[in-house]
Amino acid sequence: MSKPKESSWHTPSTVDAVDLFCGGGGLTCGLRKAGINVKMGVEIDPMCRYAYEHNNGEAKFLEKSVVELKAEAIRNCFEEGHVSLLAGCPPCQTFSSYNQKAKHQDPRYRLPNEFGRLVREVMPDIVSLENVPLLTKRPIFSNLVKEMKSLGYHVDWRIVFCPDYGWPQRRKRLVLLASRLGPIEVPAPTHAKPPTVREMIGDLPKLRHGKCDPNDRLHFCAALSPLNLERIRHSKQGGSWRDWPKKLIAKCHKKKSGKTYPGVYGRMSWDKPAPTMTTQFYGFGNGRFGHPEQNRAISIREGAIFQGFPKDYQFLPEGARHNISLLGKMIGNAVPVQLGEMVGRTIMDHVRRYRGVSK
C-alpha cells in the first residue's frame, strides 16, 4: 500500500507588530518569544530606549507621545502581505484602585482614546490591549470595544489572574484581543500550579541590604534604616507588621484606619507566587516586598524576574549610574513578559488558522 500524502500548508504570514507605550520592552520581549516580528516600540520616556533596543533584536525605539503619533509612522512598519498587529498598554495608574483622585483630570485618562484613534486610522489586522481590570468599569473602555466592533473587528476580552497562566505573581490584568481575520479568544487558564518565589529567585546570590552583587549590577537592593532593619528581623514569611513587637509598629498602623493595610512591611513566602509588582517593589515598606528570609527588600533584578524578564535582561548601559526609583518604575510598569508571550502565541495560532491555506 502506498503511503498517503501528508497534508501540506502554506507558511502562515509573518506578523509585524508595533508596540505602543512600550516602556522597557516587556510586551515586545514576550511577543518576540512567540515568534512575532516587532518592528517598533513607541514610548515617551527616553530612559527606556536602552533597555528596549539592547534586548529586543531589530525592534526600533521611537521616543514620542502617542498623542502626537501619526498613523503613517505605524503603517510604514507593516510590510505588504504580512499580518499587522497593533499592541499596547496605555499607562494604567489612572484606572488603578491605588489612584482615587479625580481621574478625568489626569491627562493619561485620554490615552485609551488615542489608542482607539490609531486603530481607526491604521486598521491593523489584529489589536491587542492590556491594562488593569478597573478599566473595564469605565465608559472609555466600553466605547473602545463598541467602536472596534463597528469597524469590523471580532473582539474578546478577559480578566486574567497571572498564576492561572503560569506567571509568578498574584496579579490580575485585563487582556483584550481583536481581529479582522476572524473570531479570536483570550485563552482560558492553562496552569493549575503556578511557579513559586523559590523557583524564580531561590538560586540568586545572597545580598545584604543596600548592597550589590559584583557579578550582576542589577541585583542590588535598597538600604534599610536601623528601625526597618529591626522590623524585618521580626517579620515572618507571608506575615506583616502585625508580627512585630508593639514598640516597632508605626503609629499610623495602630489607628483603626491603618489596620486595613496588613500587606505592607511584609515578607514574601518561598512556596507561593510573588505579590503584584508595583513601581515601588524595591521598598520594604511599600508592600509585601521583603525577601522571604534575607533581611532586605527584593532587588531590582528579582523584581524584573517576577515580571518575566530574562535574568540577563539589561536595563542600563555599562557604567551608567543606578537610579533605583527610575528602574523600579520601568520594571513595575512593564507588561509581564509571560503575558506578552501568551498573547503572542494566541495571535500566532489565530493567524495559522485563518491564513494557513491547504493546498
Query: Which positions are annotated as active-site residues?
Result: 92
The rounded distance, in Å, linking the Cα atoms of 248 and 245 is 6
Following CA atoms 220, 165, 353, 82 in sequence, which dihedral angle do they give, to the nearest 10 degrees? -20
